[in-house]
Structure 1
Amino acid sequence: MKTEQVAARLVELCRAGKFEEAQSELYADDAVSLEPEGSPQGAGGNVKGLAAIRAKSHQFHDSVEAFHGVTCTDPVVAGGWFSIVMGVDATYKGAGRIAMSEICVYQVRDGKIVHEQFFYDVEAPAA
């Protein structure tokens, strides 16, 4: 698949809440996943390999009591890279309801996602 096709499929699956299916179908076995420096412990940190990415995803989902909504923009593609903005409104165990937004950047090689990196505020933004 070309980058545009991978991006469109990822958005389709994310909008349907099928994150695990997206990982199984679209990610390379040696993909890496990066969080911002100083990100909260529940974010799972930086990991390498599809098994570690799945474990990170399960850790995130285990921290959630209830999802109230997930949004995902159309992708912006440049060569082998694409980005989306994802929003998650969820009630987290011990933290209450939080709505957050992040920029997600992906690299595609040989039809598979090999790199994902997330950008979001790790502290509340100044007013």
Structure 2
Amino acid sequence: MNTETIAKRLVELCREGKYEDAQRELYADDAVSIEPDGLPPGALGNAQGLAAIYEKGRQFSAMVEAVHGGSVSEPVIADNWFSIALAMDVTMKGRGRMNMSEICVYRVRDGKIVHEQFFYDVG
């Protein structure tokens, strides 16, 4: 698959809430997931390898009490890179309801996502 096809498929699966399905289908085994610097202690950090990315996603899901809504933008594509804006309205266990918003940037190599990096305000 080319970058545009992968980007559109990722958006489709994310809009359906099928994040792990997206990872299983679209990510390389050696993919990396990068969070912003300055995260508080106990926050989910970086992950290397698909198994670690799955686990990171499961840990995030376990922290969510309820999902009230969200959105995923259309992708912006540049050669082997693409980005999307992701927003979620969630209630986090022990932390209450919050709106989360981030820019997600992805790199594609050999028909698979090999790098994801998230940009959002910490704190």
Q: Which position in structure 1 is the counterpart of 2:111?
A: 111
SS at match of 2:37: coil
Partner of 1:92: 92
**Alignment: residue pair count:** 123
Equivalent-residue separation in structure 1 for 2:80 and 2:91 (angstroms): 35
Structure 2 unmatched ranges of 5 or more: none
User: What is the Cα-based RMSD across aligned positions, in Å?
Assistant: 1.0
Counterpart residue type for residue 91 of structure 1: T
Question: What is the CA-CA distance between 1:62 and the residue it aligns to?
Answer: 0.3
Answer whether contact 1:104 1:119 (CA < 8 A) is retained: yes
Instruction: Report what 2:5 is aligned to.
Output: 5
Deviations 1:46-83 (A, max 9, x none): 11000000000000000000011121000000010000
Q: Judge conservation of contact 1:63–1:93 (CA < 8 Å) in 2.
A: yes
TM-score (norm 1): 0.94
Q: 1:78 maps to what in 2?
A: 78
Q: Check whether the contact 1:106–1:117 (CA below 8 A) recurs between aligned residues.
A: yes
Segments of 4+ moved more than 6 angstroms: none
Q: Give unmatched runs, 5+ long, in structure 1.
A: none
The letter for the 1-side match of 2:36 is: P
Could you tell me the TM-score, scaled by structure 2's length?
Answer: 0.97
Partner of 1:37: 37
Q: Is the 8 A contact 1:43 1:60 kept in 2?
A: no
Task: Classify the secondary structure of the residue corresponding to 2:45.
Answer: coil
Residue 11 of structure 2 aligns to which amino acid in structure 1?
V
